[in-house]
Structure 1
Amino acid sequence: MFQDGFPKYLRDDVANVIGMIPKQTYNNVTHNESQVTIEYFQDENVIKFPYRIYNIDNSDKLIDNLSVQQKMILHCMYSRSCDGFIRQKHLNSLLLMDYEAWAIPYIVKICDEYVVEILEMTYDILKEQDTEPIKRFCFENNDLFCKSYSRMISYWNEYYRNNYNNFHQYIGRKLFRECFGYSRSMEVKNRNL
């Protein structure tokens, strides 16, 4: 499930957290995770995790029994939930922690999705933080990051254009530019490769 989604030195913690996640899924989906995976590079390693998981969230029952690192791992995992409310809950908890650099791929990925409330929450928290580590990660994954920016625009165009008709004021654009470091020069770099 998430064995390749975290640095190797966290394998035991990842295995412990995976062991605590219930096998029961929402709507009795027959598989626990999507076949589609997300891949990023971080510190010259490939980070790979499922696009979605379908496991029921029972984290409230087990969070107190986890170390700080295990809590971060759990929040990262559930940020991939099929339920937007669960994704938002766990991302909020993660962002309010002193999260490690290995959590950044999960933070960035969730922000190219369609839930504007997640973008608003993320921006409100990150605008008060030092986001240089996130910007470095996005620069390291320039091609994928530019695709994420395009996805965010597509969702704005499809779902939010009527409510936020000025894209320059749209929260997704502000988040990607101010907190993640997006600039047009990143797109130009991709074209020149």
Structure 2
Amino acid sequence: MFQDGFPNHLRDDVAAVVGMIPHKNNENVTSGVSQDTIQYFQDNTMIRFPYRIYYIDSLDEVIDNLSLRQKMILHCIYSRSCDGFVRQKHMFSLLQMDYEDWAIPYIVKICDEYVVEILEMTYDTLKEQDTERIKRFCLENIVPSSKSYNRMISYWNEYYRYRNNDFKKYIGRKLFRDCFGYSKSMECRRKEVRETYHLK
């Protein structure tokens, strides 16, 4: 499953990382990986990774033994953790690196979720960077990117509207528009794609 979330040329590195992940689940969970998956296209190739993983976090000494690229892979994998603090920890580490294009789907996906502190952290980092690579990825994935934008809005409406009543000032909106390049035209193109391919 994890191999499908990275380019083929990383197969050995992914295998090495997966082999070092403690395959011990969090309490009350029988499987280490959710059946639900996230799918994107990148460089005309479908990539797919678990919506959630339930493995306990890797120890720092395990991470220290990995190469720089393998650390990047590990941070991507753990950005799907069921524990919000673990997701935030690994996404922070990933964003401090000179991350490669194949890490972008993990960065985009974590930003449509409900932990506003992760959105704030991600925006604070990306606003200082050139995010053209991320914007190109989102354009390549108009339908899932638009769904992510709408999902982010739904979490704002459910959890954060009481303290951020003006959506135009909400950090999630700023992140998607300033760093991911979301615009009204993307929503229009999403509708065109859905109608063309009869997508839901």
Please classify the TM superposition score into its range, dividing by the shorter chain length.
over 0.9
Distance in 1 (CA, whole Å) between partners of 2:25 and 2:63 is 19
Q: Name 2:99's counterpart in structure 1.
A: 99
State how far apart, in whole Å, the 2-side matches of 1:57 and 1:47 are.
23
* Secondary structure class of the residue paired with 1:4: helix
Q: What is aligned with 1:2?
A: 2
Measured after TM superposition, the shift of residue 189 of structure 1 is 1.1
2:131 paired residue number? 131
CA–CA separation in structure 1 for the residues paired with 2:58 and 2:146 = 34
Measure, in 1, the Cα distance between the counterparts of 2:192 and 2:56.
44
Give the Cα separation in 2 of the matches to 1:130 and 1:59. Answer: 32
Q: In the TM superposition, what are the counterparts of 1:99-178 in structure 2 within 5 Å?
A: 99-178=99-178
Q: In the comparison of the two structures, how many residue pairs are matched? A: 193
In the alignment, structure 1 segments of 5+ residues that lack a partner are: none
Matches within 5 A, 1:60-79: 60-79=60-79
Q: Deviation of residue 96 (structure 1)?
A: 0.4
Q: Is 1:85 the counterpart of 2:66 in the alignment?
A: no
Matches within 5 A, 1:14-33: 14-33=14-33
SS in structure 1 at match of 2:3 = coil
> What is the Cα deviation at residue 128 of structure 1?
0.2
What is the CA RMSD across the aligned residues, in angstroms?
0.7
How far did residue 59 of structure 1 move?
3.5
Normalised by the length of structure 2, the TM-score is 0.95
Q: Distance in 2 between matches of 1:188 and 1:134?
A: 19
Matched, 1:42 2:42: yes
Q: d(CA) in 2 for partners of 1:133 and 1:172?
A: 19
Letter in 2 for 1:122: T
Runs of 4+ aligned structure 1 residues displaced above 6 Å come to none
**Alpha-carbon distance in structure 1 between the residues aligned to 2:80 and 2:34:** 10
- Matched with 2:191 is 191
Deviation at 1:35, TM superposition (A): 0.2
Query: In structure 1, what is the Cα distance between the partners aligned to 2:83 and 2:174?
Result: 25
TM-score, length basis structure 1: 0.98
CA offsets 1:45-83 (integer angstroms, 9 cap, x no match): 111000000000024121110000000000000000000
CA–CA separation in structure 1 for the residues paired with 2:115 and 2:105? 18
